[in-house]
A = this chain, B = another copy of it.
Amino acid sequence: MKMSDGVEQAIHSVAMLSGLSEGGVLSAAALAEFHGVSTSYLLKHLQTLSGAGILDTVPGPKGGYRLAKAAEEISLLDILLAVEGPAPAFRCAEIRQRGPNPVSDRFFAKPCNISAAMLRAERVYRAELAKTSIADLGIELNALDDGSIAARGCAFLEIHERKTAR
* Residue ranges of A at the interface with B (Cβ–Cβ < 8 Å): 1-5, 7-9, 11-12, 15, 33-37, 76, 84, 87, 89-93, 95-96, 98-104, 106-108, 110, 112-115, 117-118, 120-122, 124-126, 128-129, 132, 137, 140-141, 144, 147-149, 151-152, 155-156
Residues in B with CB closer than 8 Å to A34 are 99-100
| Least Cβ–Cβ distance between A5 and chain B, in angstroms | 6
Residues in B with CB closer than 8 Å to A96 are 12, 35, 149, 152
Known: A128-B120, A149-B108. A156 touches B101 (CB 8 A): yes
| Least Cβ–Cβ distance between A25 and chain B, in angstroms | 18
Chain A at the B interface: mostly helix, strand, loop or mixed?
helix
- Asked if B113 and A35 make an inter-chain contact with CB atoms under 8 angstroms apart, the answer reads no
| Least Cβ–Cβ distance between A148 and chain B, in angstroms | 6
Known: A36-B95, A155-B101. A149 touches B89 (CB 8 A): no
Residues in B with CB closer than 8 Å to A1 are 1-4, 84, 89
- Asked if B98 and A149 make an inter-chain contact with CB atoms under 8 angstroms apart, the answer reads no
Known: A1-B1, A121-B128. A149 touches B36 (CB 8 A): no
Q: 18 pairs across A/B with beta carbons < 8 Å?
A: A1-B1, A1-B84, A1-B89, A3-B90, A3-B91, A7-B90, A9-B95, A33-B99, A36-B95, A37-B95, A99-B156, A101-B155, A103-B152, A107-B149, A112-B149, A113-B144, A121-B129, A125-B128
